Amino acid sequence: MHRRQFLESAALAPAGLAAQPVSGGLRYVERRSGAHPFRVREGGRRPHIFLICLDMVSPDHYLPSRPLPREMQMPAMRSLMADGVNFTNAFCTISICAPSRASLYTGRHPYVVANPGGGAPGMESILRAGDIIFPEYLKAIGYRTRNAGKNHVGAQKFMDAFDELDANWNTHMPVLERDEGYQAYLRRLGIRLPRYSREIRTPQPDRKTPSQGYGGWIAQSDGKPFPLEGQYSYYLSRWAAQKLDDALASSAGKSPVYLQINIYDPHKPFTIPEGFEQRERHLRKVIALPESYRQAAARGFLPAPGDPPMLGIFRRYWGFYQPEAAMDYMVANALAMEVIDRALIEFIRELKQRGLYDDSLIVLTADHGEMNCHLAIVDKGCYIHPETQRVPLIIKPPAAYGTPGLTVETPVSLLDIAATVCDVAGVEPLERLDGVSLLPCLKGGGPPASRGLMFQTGWQITGNPACGTARWEPGGPAHLFAYNLGSAVDELYDLNDPDPQNLAGKPEHESARVAMARRMFDLIRTDPRWNCYMAGFHMRHYSELHPGV
């Protein structure tokens, strides 16, 4: 038990530290300063809440319209879909880890534009101390808050929300040699640290000099097979179950629990353990390189007509010039999703054994998408593209809501998670939230109203200030539009295309491009935070925005 939790539960705890009673009056996360006011709805039992956030998930692995999900073994994800609501057009605000997580937790568009250590000095890469993230609201009304896995929003906010240090968590991937908890776990299982038995590597732009490694298949350091139980995602699921038990015990089961599991996978470098050999053989038969990859290879991986220069930079940076390496990457990426699913099945089983599953709210999502060899690019970057902006979003509500197996196609955002969780918990923040609550969808109501979703990007490997928006209409247009300040090329993508390529510049799509440019301009004008894009966008598209002038 943490010191603050002990004081909250002790009979003589100081009034300033005691858990606040639930009431309908005005409340504050920081009572002494009056910071972060909110109200609480009275009555009703607050559910346990579990957030599972994966890292960099390709739409190839979950979109119902794609062929590969039918070939993959992901019973955990499918069971959550069957018991909950599947949002098939969910988007992040920015496809870079730390900024995206900042928007997820605050429910606001981020001023964070780079990962820690990834931007120029002075560039914001973590949240400020005065920000508020939604787990803090839950903590203020008595939830026992716990985290297992990747943090990436800064030590201060982590302490505020979870009362513990973020050692090992504020990294893009776990440093296994420094994670004492993981090493102790392996020792208990009699497993040695992993090493790569087969590693995916690519060359530099000269196509000869070895460059990057993307992980792959692992064995124990002594050469013995590495079992699933030792893989890091599986470890996180086991540790999360232990943290859940600790949280329940600390309040004798009288307080609800908020627990988030931030899984590093399937982000490269991949770590595929033993036991997936048959699955690998099957996936190699059914996975095909995207047509856009084949087109890039046919032109020698030179830029395609209409490509913004930024895509060419990332294509050269990742260096997937060899089809064999690209296929290895796609297979390992799909296997990594199956590894995650095996770990999540264990966690879901733990919830069911404790009698918590039915009445809990479970959110499964990811921080951003993944190119997965579309356009001969992998990972993500400081550009805006449907493959990197899309995220999975499945929300399993408490069983009493009575809405299993629903699908919502109306576009939603990671911004909506904070508003939804607060709404389910009966919290009404009085500070600004850019997202909307999806609780009506969870209770069988209509989808959220169509709105302008704003995308941005900033700094990852290189810099590219850019913004974008999406449009989706039932049975009508479904487009993503992107504006890059450093390029004269607009981008227009069909959101229903399983291999999206830039349509801007094609005469048959000119009217759609102009309509999306006008939509973008209207969106920029509605919010002073987007003023930084206004002048350049206005001048480039002046004749389209003011026809006849």
Dihedral sign of CA atoms 493, 497, 498, 503 in order: negative
| Banded model confidence at residue 1, pLDDT cuts 50, 70, 90 | very low
> Which two three-digit tokens encode residue 70?
């039918």
| Banded model confidence at residue 13, pLDDT cuts 50, 70, 90 | very low
Q: Kindly report the pTM of this predicted structure.
A: 0.93
Q: What is the mean pLDDT of residues 358-379?
A: 97
Is residue 389 within 8 Å of residue 480, measured between CB atoms? yes
Pairing of strands 361-366, 453-460: unpaired
Lowest mean pLDDT among 3-12, 33-42, 262-271, 502-511: 3-12
> Percentage of residues in the chain with pLDDT exceeding 70?
95
486 CB-side CA count, 13 A: 12
Domains and CATH numbers, the chain: 3-171+233-266+277-449 (3.40.720.10)
> Which two three-digit tokens encode residue 135?
């787990």
Residues across the chain: 549
- CA distance to 179, 188, 194, 216, 261, per residue, from 229 (Å): 17, 11, 12, 17, 17
Q: Which neighbouring-strand residues pair with 26?
A: 39
Is residue 499 within 8 Å of residue 290, measured between CB atoms? yes
The Cα–Cα gap between 475 and 239 comes to: 45
> Is pLDDT of 456 > 50?
yes
| Banded model confidence at residue 24, pLDDT cuts 50, 70, 90 | low
> Is pLDDT of 534 > 60?
yes
| Banded model confidence at residue 4, pLDDT cuts 50, 70, 90 | very low
Q: What is the pLDDT of residues 460-494, one digit of tens each?
A: 889 999 999 999 888 788 999 999 988 888 999 99
> Is pLDDT of 23 > 60?
no
> Is pLDDT of 542 > 90?
yes
> Percentage of residues in the chain with pLDDT exceeding 90?
79
Which strand (E) or helix (H) includes residue 51?
A: strand 49-55
Q: What is the mean pLDDT of residues 115-119?
A: 81
| Banded model confidence at residue 8, pLDDT cuts 50, 70, 90 | very low
